[in-house]
Amino acid sequence: MPWDNITSVEPLAIAFTALMIILMLTVRREYAPIPVLITAIYITLGQVIGVFGLHFTMFRVLVLFGWVRLMLRGEIHIRKFNAIDKCIILWVVSSVAVYTIQRGSFDALVNRLGLAYNALGLYFLFRCLVRDMSDLNRVLRVLCLAVVPLTLAMIFEWATGYNVFSVFGGVSATSVMREERIRCQGSFAHPIMAGTFAATTVPLLAALWFQNGVRKWLPTVGVACATSIVILAHSSGPATAYIAILVSFALWPLRNHMRALKWGLALGLLSLHLIMKAPVWALIGRLSNVVGGDGWHRTELIDATIRNVDQWWLLGTWYTAHWLPFSNLIEPGMADITNHYVVQGVDGGLVTLALFIVLIVLCFRATGGLFRGIEGQPLSMRITVWAMGAALVGHVMSFFSVSYFDQIVVFWYFLLAVISSLSNLSFSSVNTALGDHEF
């Protein structure tokens, strides 16, 4: 394939990415994740460099230079290789193998290798760079400011219907409309992705309110901007995730009774499933009647996945157009699968789906274990860990409404890596690592 056919980079994107590369290679380790995160926030996936038929988006370029940094500076260091690390590797291997066998083509292998590059490259890069709570807090302080220009751009998009990020390609210049309201998306591939990024970032930024030495205006600005993005996206998925995160924080007084609460929730859902005329996941459709969106579609998608389990459980399936009345216009032969869990099964079979769920369970378990390990310690520590769990809840809820397909994956793997890194810290390490620094 000719170079010109697969390379599309604007001079402004080149300059921005070059600056981020310089920062990646020169800043202190604690700040090294920031160039990757900022690139994911501001450069669309329309900016691509082609190398021998392989597509490198700008955040992938930053990942490459991130690993160059790790090797040059001897920073490839993981305190302890834990269950989360092993599970994400197994999930990637299963995803690559099953999808390639299912499609039976070299293009399918290249596609899955891209997934592997994103998942393992980002996850272990962040694992090596973020080693304690102090590192995490430094990154979050910068993110509080980084979301401000994005918010201003999306306010402009809401006011004019023009998306300024369209100059980078990959997003439309004209904003999407729903119910005569503009759905702002900024640099993200869809308004749902923009809103999900903001919603799942809110709890982490909010945790800075409780950190000693942090000026309170900083998290106030960050949370206000992230909340504004959720509203401007005008999407039910991010709104639902945001509500779930608020509920998670509201459960703080019950923090010592979480085991009973989890079992109560499970039994409650099971009871509803038994007494409702419709399956319990029909509640997704009921919720959409309140917050808006296509909840009926997502409910029917889960129904269709269960009805057709024989078609995908072993090696996934490449044809789902008959599952739903509406097909995917981008990928012929496939239904419009707006559910990240369903995508795991369709692309990778039951084993891949199971590994993905186990990965989430391990992260919840790690967060809970860390929270119990710092019981009785300063509020700032416990709130930070609680916020990580709340952010994970937000992603888990979002997976029911959308399949992650753009730079939102950067922030998903960042959260997984942070949970994994901090779960390895001993009590004394956590206590020492939580530094108090002015910004």
Average pLDDT (88-93) is: 98
**CA-based end-to-end distance of the chain:** 48
Distances (CA, A) of 252 to 112, 244, 246, 305, 398: 40, 13, 10, 35, 22
Residue type for 282, please? A
State pLDDT tens for residues 100-121. Answer: 999 999 999 999 999 999 999 9
pTM over 0.95: no
Average pLDDT (180-192) is: 94
What pLDDT does 433 receive?
Answer: 45
More confident residue, 172 or 51: 172
Please say if the pLDDT value at position 396 is more than 90: yes
Mean pLDDT of the chain, nearest integer:
90
- Pick from 313-317, 333-337, 357-361, 412-416: least confident: 333-337
Average pLDDT (18-35) is: 97
- Pick from 9-13, 71-75, 91-95: least confident: 9-13
Please say if the pLDDT value at position 341 is more than 80: yes
Average pLDDT (333-340) is: 90
Distances (CA, A) of 94 to 106, 116, 315, 416: 17, 10, 10, 18
Please say if the pLDDT value at position 437 is more than 80: no
Domain boundaries, the chain: 3-268+323-433
CB-based contact 115:92 (threshold 8 Å): yes
- Pick from 181-190, 369-378, 425-434: least confident: 425-434
Please say if the pLDDT value at position 90 is more than 60: yes
Please say if the pLDDT value at position 428 is more than 80: no
What pLDDT does 290 receive?
Answer: 56
What pLDDT does 4 receive?
Answer: 42
Please say if the pLDDT value at position 408 is more than 60: yes
* Rounded Cα distance, 136 and 258, in Å: 25
State pLDDT tens for residues 197-251. Answer: 999 999 999 999 999 888 999 999 999 999 999 999 999 899 999 999 999 999 9
Average pLDDT (408-417) is: 98
What pLDDT does 186 receive?
Answer: 97
